Structure formats: C-alpha cells, structure tokens
Structure 1
Amino acid sequence: MPEFDLIDRIRARVLQRDDVVLGIGDDAALLQVPAGRQLVVAMDTLNVGVHFPHATAPADIGWKALAVNLSDLAAMAAEPAWCTLSLSLPGDDPAWVESFLDGFLALAAQHRVALVGGDTTRGPLSISVTVHGFVEPGRALRRATACVDDDIWVSGTLGDAAGALALMSDDAGSACRASPAGVVDASGSVAWTDSDPRDPAHSAYARLRLHLDRPTPRIGIGLALAGTANAAIDISDGLLADLGHVCAASGVGAQLQLDALPASSELRALFPDARRHALQASGGDDYELCFTAPATARHAIEQIAIATHVLCTRIGRIVTGSDVQVLAGDGTSWTPPRAGYVHFGSE
C-alpha cells in the first residue's frame, strides 16, 4: 500500500464540513474560523506500550487517539471542529489501517469532527493527533482561574482504566490479555481463572477495559459548564496530579474527601478499598473532567449533570495554600503510593 494510496483511503472516508475550504490532498488545509470565535488547539501523541497495550485492537487505538484529544477540548469548553492525524506504521497493513479508521472516524462522526490533513511514515507504531475547536472569547475554561472556597467536582467515575491496567499487569507480568478473568483477594493480588466469559468477574473486567480502550470525551458537559465553572482540567495522568496543575496555576490548594471519590460498581467489586482508592486518586487514563465552581452553582451543576446524562460528584473544595490534601473518613490525612503518571523522571 503506497503512501498516496493510504492517503486516498483515508480521504474517501472523512466527514465533510462547510468550514473546510480545502482538506486532505494539498500541502496544507484551508479552514474558516467562524466570526466571533477563538480557535482552540490541542495535540496528543500515543505510543504503543506507553499509551495502549501492544495487543490493543486497531479500532480501539483509533478511537482513543481522537478521544484523548477531544477530552482536552472538553476541558476548555470548546466545540470540536477539525483534526489532523500523523500515523507512524511499522509496515504495510491495509486491514490494520481500515480498522483503525473505523474507530477514529466513528468518534469523529459523533462530534462532527473533520479530518483535514496529517502525515504518514514508516516507523514504530505511534499516533499524533491535533484537534481544533471554537470558543466564544472569554468563555474558555482554564486551569488558572480556580478560587478559594470553590467546590471541586469530577465527572463520571475514577479509576476504571487504571483498574484494567492493574489487572493486566498482575497477570504474571503479561503485557496484555485479550479476555482474562480473575478475582482479587484482600491484599490486592489477582488469582486468575479460565472461567466462562459470563463469569461476573470477567464481565466486570471487560467493562473496566472498555474505559481504558474507549474513553468518552466529555464534550457535552464541558460546553455546558462554560459560564458556570471557574476552572477545569481533564484527568489523564491521575486526579491528584492533574488537580495539582490547577492549584499551581491558580495559586491555591485543595482538600479532597477520599470517600467521596466516585467509583463504578465494577471497580468496587474487583478491588479492596485501599487499592481502589489508590487507582482512583492517581491511576490516570480516566479522561474525565475535574472542575471547580462556586458553592452557589451546585444546583446549576446538578441540572447540567441531568441534562447531559453524566454523573457529577462533588469531592472537595479549593482552599488557601498550595498542596492537594486528601482526607480519609476519620479526618486523617491520606497519602497515595504516587501522585500520578510521570513521562520523564521519577514518580
């Protein structure tokens, strides 16, 4: 499959938008930003073995590559519009590319995102995506605008993707298992079985794995929070690490209630409390929104949650200082094994 044949395959499947003056096929795209809007741009790179396990299905890789970028737009309260895609592929595999596009373009269609260009090259499997969106001037949510006495909220549940990764790594060091089943004892160790796929533990793992492979970018709630929330960030490296970025940018501290962190029934079923809390606080790969808002906005946020069909949970408040403190149920300070994922340096 020569490079230009690959480009033609991609171009034949992309969404068309009126604001794309010139898309795939030229040296660059020509795009029309709507009047009265600011352009919001974000980019993420996904590498095999770092951002997704080696045996991940190509359609899931395609979905996630776009989802993690759309999550950044959601955190800025931006409406998605366009994206570019850079694919580094180790070899000639048209079936892999078609499956990758199935996942990538399915999510793009959900949010009316047009793929307008990119690059293809031979090399280790790596995907870079740049997304573009629109926001009204002054309406973007930022990290540097949290205020003392704000409530701290999160969307969805925390720790599901990290739970899936934990189950995979606990399986005798295996990098990936297509459909494992197992139970977790009180120490947090996993005892694997070759149980029937209908086994409850197996089903719970499959649902956790779905959060890892196909995260849901919270575009709807991000747009709805503009004008209500004060600050926001998406949770990619772990709640404590990412909330720490908000605190650093805003010059404030945070106090969280450990028992308030929302957990799925699957995570509760498969992990004892101590390990579950660690996964929720610092596991990463959630791609949920963490946002702050004044206490007077509680009813408005509850209505936004209902309207968008997304769980929103109040987990703490912004305080003076600079640290993120987590309080256990008895009021004592709780410290996780690590704050979150770090690409370079020690954790």
Structure 2
Amino acid sequence: MPNLYRYANQPGWFRAREHISGGNSTKAGVFSLFYGLPVTYWDAFTASQTPPVLMERLEAADYRFQVLSSATLVSPAFDRNVFAGLKDISLEPAQGEPWERDQQITDDWLAWMDKEEARSDERPFFGFLFYDAVHGYSHPPDFPRFMPYWEHINHMSLGPDFDPEPYWNRYRTAARYVDQQLGRVLDDLERRGRLEDTAIVITADHGESFNEHGKNYWGHGSNYTPEQIQVPLVMHLPGRSGGALERRTHHADIAPTLLEELLDCESAPQHYTLGQSLLDVAPHRDWMLSGSYMGYGILMPDYQVAVHPTRAFEVYDYRMNELDDIKLESQVSNEVLRALSKFYR
C-alpha cells in the first residue's frame, strides 16, 4: 500500500505498531470502532437504535455527514445502531464487483467534496468510506498482480496442505488496489489545502488468515490470532506531531481520541467506552476484548480465551495451540464480566 505508506510517514501522522480490532468479523469490528464497546452490546444498542457517543457529539456540533459504503449497511444492521438517525446515507451499495463499487464511492466522495468546496459556510464535515475490494479479493482485470496468483478462488480446495501464496497474492493485489483509491482521496484533500486541518483515521474491520500456523484456518471469524484481529491504524490529527504508537492499541481507543481532540469532550472515557485516548501515556493493558459472529475473545499478552455463547471456553496461544493448563485469573474474569455489563441501564 504505497500511498498509505507515503502519508503514514509524513509529519503529523500516527502509525500504530500493534493495533487490535474489536472483532474478527465486520459486525464486531465496525461496532467496536464507533462505540468503543464489545459487540456483546450489539443487540441492546440496535434494539434501542442508540447511536455511538461519537456520532451524537458530531451531530450536536453541526457536522455535515457523507457516509459511503461499498458493502451494504443493513446487513449487519449498521443503519440501526452506528448510523441510526442519519439522513441521506447510502445504505445499499452500487452494483458491480467490489472493486467497481470501491471506485464508485471514491468518485462520489470526490464529487461531494467539490460541492463542499462551493459552499459559502464553514461547517465541518464527517466522512466515512467503507471499501470492500480487500474483503472480496477483488480488483480490475487489468490491474497489476502479485505473482503467483490464484485466478479462480475455490474454497473447497483449501486445506492444511494447500499452498497459500497464490491466494495471499490475490489478497495483496486487492489491498494495493484499495490503496490506489485511498491515494485519490488523500491527494485530493492535499490539493484542496484541507489535509492539515482534517482528522483522518485509516483502519480495517478485521484481518485475514492464510493458514499461517498450519491449523487450516482461512479467512476470518474463526479465532483471535493476530492474523484475524490485528489491523492497520494510520491516523492524522491536526496540530499533532504524529509518530509511532508503540503500546498495544485497540479500536476502542479511537472514539475517545477523536472526542477529546476534535470535540473538546471532557467526560472521562470510562463513562462511555472501554478505551482511552491514543495520546494518553497509559499503563500496560492486562487484557483486551475482541468479538466474533457469536461469542468473544479475551486477549491476554500470551494467550487468547475463546468464550462461546454457551459460556464454554477454550484457551489457545497465538499459534492456535490449545492450552489445557492455563486458568484465567479471577481478577481478570471479574474485570471482564464488569466490562460486559457496565453500560446497560
């Protein structure tokens, strides 16, 4: 992703060394990104159609919104939680392959920016662009490919002895294509003179496995290894010098960072999130949470605890070797249980 690399290494940009998504699936990852909460709260917030604190505060500050997604926002039902109450958002994607939809939302964004530039008022804006080509391993037919390359994906062919390199190269090619779209967006902001006064967060909902540990795990949604939950985080904050974020960070940290930096929110983060500002000099985290389609994972420094909806659990190291002799400390168990219940009312 040469465009992302180019910007990430400029002054004023932050780069996370080890950033963890709140999920190994789109549902859990996007939910945690906006709410700063584990996906176990999904049903409650969706039923009440309560938007995240971040979105509420942006609306209260009279921001204009432009939400563009290459994937549907109604399944999972982000229209009923993250974007609840927003008008004129695009809930259903354009037609075509994922790469075509990604190109279309970029075109739509640039056209919207033209209209913004023509406005006479100075209202700030919030934009959300959700690209899908990497998720779909998709790119234009004539786009340069990493080789060797898997021409026709057949998931029935995957197995513990399948050579992952052609599949991985197809994924890398899609990532490079999305980077081309990111370059269009960022270069446009720079050309308009808007880059320096615009906060930008570039990250992902989840990662992807390619049988790295020989356990026949492919794709996402099946475990809490770094391959499935560690994602990029590149962020620009106006007035900040940038640099590397050396401590382990989490999606839950993004909302409080933006609320404090952009919206002068003085409320302590623990009132609305499990996260903390990325700019805080914080003590070492003993544990983190990451969710899946059902169930969640407790992420300890050296192992993961996969908790199922039945409350049964399994413990693995981060190479997916089962650990039968490790018991979660009672203090951690109690802290996790409080975190899973403290925001109900």
TM-score w.r.t. the length of structure 2 is 0.22
Larger strand fraction of residues: 1
Report 1 or 2 for greater relative contact order, CA contacts < 8 Å, sequence distance ≥ 6: 2
Taking structure 1 as the reference length, the TM-score comes to 0.22
